Amino acid sequence: MKEIRVGIIGTGVISNQHMQRYQSIPNVKIVAACDINKPRLEAWGAKYNVTDLYTDFREMLKRDDIDSVDVCLHNNLHLPMAYEVMKSGKNCYSEKPMAGSYADAKRLYDASKTFGKELSIHLDFMFFRQSRMAKKMIEDGELGNIYHARSVGLRRRGRPGLDMPLSREFILSDWAGHGALYDMGVYHISQLLYIMGLPKLERVSGQVYQEIDYKGRPASEAGMSVEEMGVGFAKYEGNITFDIIETWAIHMDELGPGFIVGSKGGLKFTQDPGFMGRPATPSLKFFTTKGGDDIDIDLKLGSNAMGAMSDPMEHYYANEQEHWIGYLAGELPERIDTAQVALQTMLVSEGIFLSGKLGREVTAEEIAALSVSNAMRTQDTEWGRFEYTF
């Protein structure tokens, strides 16, 4: 099996999740890493036994022995850095969201075509067995005509950098672009769009909010400049409607699950909470009728060990990184286009932001026309100024 040599840009919190995945894939070798924070970079290198370390991404990208570069940076650096990666002739795997705005995401998607390089966005929920089973059921007609879906994400009080001990860049618009919808909302929205076959967006109405105090004062006074909650209602081609709510902070204990409903049946996206050390597992509940009776079926999704034994390609769908590496190594003839799903996720999210700003419904065409870039164009560091030329 061909060895895939990977470089990583950004050695913060999320890079550790990526590394744990890479370490479980036998034909991956992490050959280099880059970060402007030298102490953090050196600690990361020691932890993962990576010795080729760079504070200047441009030096790392000069190497000709890297097959893929993993971008683990904040949202408004995704376009400039991923663009530089592909411009250097390397394939790019980037953290979500695709960028800090739809305009930036579209520029990145187009760049992958211009440079002829592969681009994948980390949308892990698409690779849950829950997602794959739901997609197959819809394709097989078990739900009939799909007409409505709901995307839900709830944190009661979980604003990163305020309520949670994470980087404050999550709550700063200059770095993040937006908040809850870009943090976890992209996972939930992209999952359902993928399952439904990526229908074409027609129009969106929505609003974002920052209402919950932090230690007795407005969160804005604590430096938060992004939304803690986004709510939207979208209309798609084929008379499909899609309502969205994603929150980092709300005075409520539950909002209900996500679901997709059709003329013959419906799917509720649930999660087994785990027990006695067993990890939580995403699962499905199927609702239909038979012979005049209402039928509810819990679809328990285990490890699918038997499926893996009967299909040697099964493990390439276990998570997106394994899928990505399998494709680059030539083991998969084709791959799921996560960048296209990510782009459409950005389109509906941008629609929510624009609708709230303009105070009216917006069409897909208006979203594309009115979206503006949030991406960073210069970055001053201890090691010099980086100027991005996308």
pLDDT at 25 over 90: yes
Q: How far apart are CA 341 and CA 350, in angstroms?
A: 14
Domain count, the chain: 2
The whole-number pLDDT of residue 300 equals: 76
In a shared domain, residues 171 and 285: yes
The whole-number pLDDT of residue 277 equals: 55
The whole-number pLDDT of residue 22 equals: 97
pLDDT at 306 over 60: no
For the chain, give the mean pLDDT: 94
Q: What is the CATH number of the domain that holds 245?
A: 3.30.360.10
pLDDT digits (tens, 9 = 90+) for 312-354: 888 899 899 999 999 999 999 999 999 999 999 999 999 999 9
Q: Is 11 part of a structural domain of the chain?
A: yes
pLDDT digits (tens, 9 = 90+) for 232-267: 999 999 999 999 999 999 999 999 999 999 999 999
* Predicted confidence band of residue 305 (pLDDT cuts 50, 70, 90): very low
- pTM score above 0.85: yes
Q: Is 262 part of a structural domain of the chain?
A: yes
In a shared domain, residues 146 and 102: no
In a shared domain, residues 69 and 161: no
Paired residues of 28 in beta bridges? 4
Residue whose C-alpha is closest to residue 230's, from 157, 180, 176, 183: 180
Q: Is 380 part of a structural domain of the chain?
A: yes
In a shared domain, residues 13 and 101: yes
Q: What is the CATH number of the domain that holds 108?
A: 3.40.50.720
Least confident residue range of 229-233, 292-296, 298-302: 298-302
pLDDT digits (tens, 9 = 90+) for 78-115: 999 999 999 999 999 999 999 999 999 999 999 999 99
pLDDT digits (tens, 9 = 90+) for 277-292: 556 678 899 999 999 8
Q: How far apart are CA 320 and CA 98, in angstroms?
A: 15
In a shared domain, residues 80 and 206: no
The whole-number pLDDT of residue 278 equals: 55
Q: How far apart are CA 316 and CA 327, in angstroms?
A: 9
* Predicted confidence band of residue 50 (pLDDT cuts 50, 70, 90): very high
The whole-number pLDDT of residue 310 equals: 62
pLDDT at 388 over 70: yes
